[in-house]
Structure 1
């Protein structure tokens, strides 16, 4: 059974087709880097897997069942999170606010739920952040709390939409290493979207690259090639490898360094 299966999936917005007849199978227990140019559909794909976005055609199955809203087997960190820094909550309350599906408002937690919050905080190494206000935390520390939220209920599939945004290289490395450890320790399937490949290279099993409504899934060596990326970008692309880094170039421009914007 695949973690995620798309069969002939097409999704569009306002006369613009974001995904066009995409079919793919993502195996269980893999760390998948989801990449692609701005507007390629990375967020759309995750919302489709979550059952938040209806498809125009095709079918989506998650862990053998049709995609649906509120699937407890799927954890999710969305892309828009700037408000978190301004909430008047400590770390514990922020994580607890998502317990049992409550995103905002603090539920009354029984002993089992309190243990679950404690487990999630410990799993991401955020026990020391439990009593600190969000406003005093760094971006990397807040990212640990968001990951703890996503782990409540112990999901089998974890969707992380651009978790490296606004983090410096040190904190980016820390987040990738943390997610990779959790993925290995618990056998979770991870879809980790980013606008640059290099921070993920040490962790990913496969790349899912999106572009022009199409998708390519495979190992780095299979997908990050001139023919595949030229097809997905719709223009000539060169792939330059230097030591342990890969640069995706259009002429003299590194396309993955372009200013990031949302695809929805």
Structure 2
């Protein structure tokens, strides 16, 4: 179903002079950013630069240390019902019995207390959502038996179940092959075009979404850059950001970055020090990784 994108003049996300710190360590500061309805913002940066903290702030789970943040004109913690969240892939046991349709249903009524019944209306809604993300064929299959790409389709369905105004995707392409990366990104891109849903897409690899991203927020220890991919992903821009020579080359429509420091010095108590450092990658890369 196609609807007219929602354009009421209110930014979906607005940050003014925003800063976030952990103890004495400032993760990022002086961030001014607006995300409009239907916009696709890709969030890039090295390990420990604050991408996960940015996600937590938008979800209302981490307060800013300075500045302001609003989602749909209200504090982030009050706007959670308007946010669809696609988390990072998590390992699942093959014995996991939760079915695909169960996960989507939690997106519809997971906020409610008490027993949940599959009424006719809820079942139809779940079936429609599963069909929209191409997951009908495995609606009743336990999640532990699905491939990574199939699980991500179901997670996107769960995130869309409440008709969100903001779709927040935290590394949704990790561990997916190129075929499933393309399928997942096309689902997300189709949603923002059909419903005017704003997309904030945190990723280590810009190339799968390079043709979709309207703007890039690049976070690094030296500061941040906001602009179109052509403005931010240049040798001059990233060299200024890192304070050292960084080479950005475009090869057959792909972006290759070489020489950016691998910043992984987040302290152990820092959320990004716990899970991001477990997947360090060299920062001479085919594409932009963080």
TM normalised by structure 1 equals 0.89
**Deviation by residue 1:168-199 (Cα, 9 ceiling, x = unmatched):** 11211111112111221111110111111111
| Deviation, structure 1 residue 102 | 4.3
SS at match of 1:192: strand
The within-5 A match list for 1:239-250 is: 239-250=248-259
Higher mean alpha-carbon deviation, 89-98 vs 160-169, is at: 89-98
Measure the CA separation in 2 of the matches of 1:170 and 1:207: 23
| Deviation, structure 1 residue 256 | 4.8
| Deviation, structure 1 residue 83 | 3.7
1:123 match: 132
2:80 pairs with one of 71, 79, 90: 71
SS at match of 2:81: coil
Measure the CA separation in 2 of the matches of 1:98 and 1:22: 31
The within-5 A match list for 1:51-200 is: 51-69=60-78, 71-79=80-88, 81-83=90-92, 87-102=96-111, 107-200=116-209
Measure the CA separation in 2 of the matches of 1:79 and 1:22: 24
| Deviation, structure 1 residue 15 | 2.6
Asked if residue 4 in structure 1 is aligned to residue 13 in structure 2, the reply is yes
Measure the CA separation in 2 of the matches of 1:233 and 1:169: 29
2:212 pairs with one of 203, 213, 226: 203
**Structure 1 residues not aligned, in runs of 5+:** none
| Deviation, structure 1 residue 113 | 3.1
- Mark the CA change 1:127 to 1:84 in structure 2 (over 3 Å): closer, same or farther: farther
| Deviation, structure 1 residue 213 | 6.2
- Mark the CA change 1:101 to 1:133 in structure 2 (over 3 Å): closer, same or farther: closer
1:227 pairs with one of 207, 218, 236: 236
Q: Does the CA-based 8 Å contact 2:130-2:154 persist in structure 1?
A: yes
Moved segments of 4+, more than 4 Å: 102-106
**Structure 2 residues not aligned, in runs of 5+:** 1-9, 261-281
2:53 match: 44
Measure the CA separation in 1 of the matches of 2:149 and 2:115: 24
**Deviation by residue 1:203-228 (Cα, 9 ceiling, x = unmatched):** 21211111116322211111111222
Q: Does the CA-based 8 Å contact 1:223-1:229 persist in structure 2?
A: yes
TM normalised by structure 2 equals 0.81
| Deviation, structure 1 residue 257 | 6.1
